[in-house]
Structures are given as structure tokens and as C-alpha cells.
Amino acid sequence: MRRFSILFALGGSLFVLATGLMSQTSKPAQGVSAAQVTRGKQVYLEQCLACHQVDGLGVQGMNPPLAKTKQVLGDKAALIKIVLNGMQGVDIGGDDYHGVMAPHPDLTDRQIADVLTYVRNSFGNKASAVTAAQVKTVRATNKPAAQ
Amino acid sequence: MRSTIKTLSFAAAFCLAGLVSFGQLKLPSGFKAETVGADLGRARHLVVTPTGVIFVKLNRPKDGKGILRLEDTNGDGKADKITGFANYGGTGMAIKDGYLYASSDMDVYRYKLDNNFNVVNPDQPEKIVSGLLNRHQHESKSIALDNSGNIYVNIGAYANSCQIQDRTKGSPGRMPCPILDSAGGIWQFRADKADQTYGTGTRYATGLRNVVGLDWNTQTNSLFVMMHGRDQLSNNWPEYWNDKQSAELPAECMYELHKGSNCGWPYIFYDQIQHKQMLAPEYGGDGKKGPEKEFQDPVVAFPGHLAPDGLLFYTGSQFPEKYKNGAFVAFHGSWNRAPEPQAGFFVVFVPFKDGKPSGNWEVFADNFSGGADKTASGRADYRPCGLAQGPDGSLYVTDDTKGMIWKISYNK
């Protein structure tokens, strides 16, 4: 029994090590504040990680990856709307994903700006920051899809 | 303390001593694995005919073919003649009385087979069931047949826990859950009748969130299913469960079904550590309260989120005696354990005696992931899905990531 628990602990620490390496954010894009990325990471850990995973690569067939996709790196207004309204069943990079992303209108403008800035500068991504003002503008005219 | 013991016993099963490497896989001593197919696409469920021909259902058609037929014509153990048909994706695959049965995510078809197990008319299957709900969540329609001319079809619930707002923090459950009228259960149809749908079928069992692996047990003459338990206990209800608890809970349950069985989704989930039914938080649960009225109990409760996608009762005589009539379960592997390490990506065995589990489950085939770190991160090399028994008593396992098929056999 003791041997098993040691093995288990070893497996666990390997995981922690791997986690640490993977979640390490490389230098953000020029003009992006490190403080905003750090705040965004906290939001990611609480709100996004369970589905999109530690390495941002999602889950095959379920939850899409956040690395180098046009949804993450492209139009910011569309990206902000994904957070506000949720998403399901969109083909990304030629693969289909069936997981349901819940809407997150309860997050503040700043939290959404921070987490998107973090995502746009993690997992191999490098892109400009999203600002709270941009989120505010999008939210003002956003019409969530009817339930 | 109890949970510590459970965690340790899971760890024990997890790092099971005595498994020997055989290529990618780790198997009990005396067993060997060979790949009979590779790079086939998203290989889901499969069947093996009495002559050793394999039919495998693909989740997405590959080169326009949603079912592949693999035949080893020169006897070297590898499929050298691969043909395909059916232009739809899906999961279900079964064979019975001269017919091959297959499902898309909405319909069930059958194909007449000739004496050499060739499909007589691959482009014109008989559509036996159509119009089943597919809302792109728990959409696969896996199938099993009994010996009385019935086919059982899973219709998974298009939700996590029947909340007003699906998968949303704090959103309450709908009461009664309206999904259960048309999904979240097993439906029974006639295996030989065309054009059936909800109105002509029977809701055989309910309260089942999503079943992928299911099998007719010929010893008990009853249907056994593996249910995928709910997600997001700590995510959506952090006041009652922490991430560690939420990684282990709820149990992935094996149920023995009878007509009218109700396994309780979405109102309850099964806590395998406390060994009891818990009221779901969407319906007033707090991690302590049980339901007012109990639902059916599972026959086996596995750790959470391992994603059981294949179930097979072993009736062969090639494997040692202890395997006879026991259950193999293919666990596709978890994702909802994050931020805790992921788990699964293995095939387990549950011994049965007189139609009931007679001992603890154990890992039978391991290391589909390619190592402990790949298991923990969830970035597995392969993910086991379908199980089938060959005519010589070998066990076949599919992988729906890269499209592998392994044949596991025992050397006497």
C-alpha cells in the first residue's frame, strides 16, 4: 500500500511540474501589461481552466483549444461576445466541439478584458490587449441569443 | 479517513502492480496485444464476426465512409482488406441474426449480411429508427440487442444537470426535468421493424444522463449500462465541493436495467466515497443531503469523470477462468478533473458471479495514454472506446483519437 501511495505522490508531483511548465506565460505582446496578464490568469484559473485545461488546448470533441485560433486572435468584439453569450457547436480548425460554454455576463468588464488579454498572450498566442472600455462598448449593444 | 482509504485504493488500482508492457499497452502477465488496424479515423464501437471480420463505426466519416469492414485475408493477423460504406458518423455498432446494426447521432440502420459477412446492399440500409434528439451534447446513440428481437438505444440528455441555464454557476434545476420525456434514458425498439421513432418505441429506463457503453448480459438476460456522471460540482457549486472532491465525484456508475428503471439523473448523483445517493445541488443538495425517495442503486461505482465508453461481458473461454462472464469497461479518460490530474485511459475488469460483481474492479489494460504525465495532463496518445469479443475469445479495443484497433489475447 505504501508503495502505491509513493507512486501516486510521484505521479502527482510530475503533474504539478508539468502544469507549472505549461502554464508559464511567455513574454506578452508589446504594449500588453504584465499586471493585466497576471490578473487575467487568476480569472482563467477560476472560470476557464476546468474546460479549456491547464495548457489551453481544450478537450478533443468537447471543448475547443484556445491556442492560435482565429476566434482568440481575431476580431475582439466577437471574442468578447463569446464570453458574454457562451458558445456551442462551432467548428474550430476543422474540428467539431460539442461541449457547452455557459454565458458569463456576471464577469465585470475588467475581468473579461483581463482574461482575454491573458488568453491572447498565453499558450503560444501573442496579441494585443483587450481593454475594459472595449468590453463595455460590446456589452452595451450585445443581444444574447434567446434561450 | 474513509476517503483517504478510497483514494489510496484508487491509486492502487491506478498504478496496478503486475501489469507487463506489451508494445504501448500494459497487460496482466500472459496476455499480449497486437494492433490489427491503425489510422482508421475516429473508431468508436465495433463488432467481430464469427469469421473474424471486423466492422467498426467511425464518429466522423473518413473519405466518405462511416463504417469500415476489415478483413485479414492472408492470416497474418493484420487487416489487409479494408472497405467502407455508410456516409454518416456515429457510435453504435452491433451484429445479430444476419444483420449489422449501426447508428448515426439521430437514426439507427441495419444492413443485411451474406454468409461471408459482406454487406448485401451497403447503400440502401433499412432505417429502423429515426428522428432521435441530437442537440450536440451527449449525442451518440449507442445500441445493444437482446435475444427477443429488441434493440436498446441510448438517448443522452442534452445538459449537464437540467439547469435553467445549462452548466452555469448557481443556476437551479428544472422541476420536473423536461428533458426526460425525450432523452436521458434508454429507449427500446423492435430490431426488425422499419421507420420507428419515439411514438413507436418504449422509454425502457430513465434518469440516465448519458450512456455510451452498454451490453446485453446473456447470463442475467438483462441490459447493463455505464453512465457518464455529471460534471462541475466544484465549478458551479464551490460552496459545497472543492476541486479535489469534484475530481473524484460523482461515481461513474454501472447499472443493471429493467423495464421502468429510474437511475435518478438529474435529481441525484451517486457518491462512491460515502456509498450513497446524494441530492444534486441544482435540486437543493449540499453534499450531505440524500433524496427523499431513493432511486435505483448502481451495481458498480467507479471514480468520477473517467468516461466509460465501452462495456462488454466476456463469454469466451480463451481467457483464464476468472474472466468468464465478467465485465470489461473501456474508460475514454477524464477532462473534468482539472485542475486536479486527469485519469482513466484504460480498460478495467470487474469479476462477476451469478450475474453480480464478485470482487473489486482492477485495471486490465493500461497505458493507452503513453505515460503518467500524459494521463495527468489529459494529452493521451490513445483513448479506449469500443470493446468486442472475437470468435476465438480475444478482446478487441478501439481508440477514437488515431483510429487504432488492438486485439488482446491470452497465451496459455
Across B381-399, average pLDDT: 98
- Give dist(CA B36, CA A38) in Å, integer: 49
pLDDT at B202: 97
More confident residue, B61 or A7: B61
Interval B62-116: pLDDT, tens: 999 999 999 999 988 889 999 999 999 999 999 999 999 999 999 999 999 999 9
Residue A118 has pLDDT above 90, yes or no: yes
Partner residue opposite A8 with nearest CB, options B15, B232, B235: B15
User: Is residue A61 within 8 angstroms of chain B, CB to CB?
Assistant: yes
pLDDT in tens, B305-350: 999 999 999 999 999 999 999 999 999 999 999 999 999 999 999 9
Instruction: Assign B357 a pLDDT band (cuts: 50, 70, 90).
Output: very high
Lowest mean pLDDT among A79-88, B3-12, B250-259, B265-274: B3-12
**B8/A4 CB distance under 8 A:** yes
Task: Reply yes or no on whether the pLDDT at B120 is more than 70.
Answer: yes
Q: Is the model's pLDDT at B12 over the cut of 50?
A: no
Q: Please give the domain boundaries of chain B with CATH numbers for all domains.
A: 2-309+391-410 (2.120.10)
Q: Provide the pLDDT for residue B49.
A: 98
CB B385 within 8 A of CB B45: yes
Mean pLDDT, rounded, of chain B: 94
Q: What is the 3-state secondary structure (H, E, C) of chain B?
A: CHHHHHHHHHHHHHCCCCEEEECCEEEECCEEEEEEECCCCCEEEEEECCCCCEEEEEEEEECCEEEEEEECCCCCCCCCEEEEECCCCCCCEEEECCEEEEECCCCEEEEEECCCCCECCCCCCEEEECCCCCCCCCCCCCEEECCCCEEEEEECCCCCCCECCCCCCCCCECCCCHHHHCCCEEEEEECCCCCECHHHCEEEEECCCCEEEEEEECCCCEEEEEECCCCCHHHHCCCCCCHHHHHHCCCEEEEEECCCEECCCCCEEEECCCCEEEECHHHCCCCCCCCCCCCCCCCEEECCCCCEEEEEECCCCCCCHHHCCCEEEEECCCCCCCCCCCCCCEEEEECEECCEECCCCEEEEECCCCCHHHHHHCCCCCCEEEEEECCCCCEEEEECCCCCEEEEEECC
Answer yes or no: do A4 and B165 touch at CB < 8 A. no
Residues in chain B closer than 8 A to A103 (CB atoms): 165, 168
B59–A contact, CB cutoff 8 A? yes
Q: What is the pLDDT of residue A30?
A: 85
More confident residue, B411 or B320: B320
- Chain-chain contact of A103 with B137 (C-beta, under 8 angstroms): no
Across B289-301, average pLDDT: 97
Q: What is the pLDDT of residue B17?
A: 54
User: What ipTM does this complex have?
Assistant: 0.81
DSSP B192: T
Instruction: Decide if B14 touches A, using CB distance below 8 A.
Output: yes
Residue of A nearest to B42 (CA): A61
Percent of chain B residues topping a pLDDT of 70:
96
| Residues in chain A within 8 Å Cβ distance of B367 | none
Helix H or strand E encompassing B68: strand B65-71
Residue B14 has pLDDT above 60, yes or no: no
Mark yes or no for CB contact B12/A103 under 8 Å. Answer: no
Of A15, A98, A99, the CB nearest to B341: A15
* pLDDT for the residue numbered B1: 35
Q: Does B12 touch chain A (CB under 8 A)?
A: yes
Given this model, what pLDDT does residue A146 score? 52
What are the structural domains of chain A?
27-141 (1.10.760.10)
Q: Report which listed range, A2-6, A19-23, B19-23, is most confident.
A: B19-23
Q: Kindly report the nearest CA distance between residue A78 and chain B, in angstroms.
A: 21
Q: How far apart are CA B297 and CA B58, in angstroms?
A: 33
pLDDT in tens, B230-239: 999 999 999 9
**% of chain A beyond a pLDDT of 70:** 80
pLDDT of residue B411: 87
Mean pLDDT of B253-259: 98
Q: Cβ contact (<8 Å) for A88 and B137? A: yes
For B169-203, the pLDDT digits (tens) are 999 999 999 999 999 999 999 999 999 999 999 99
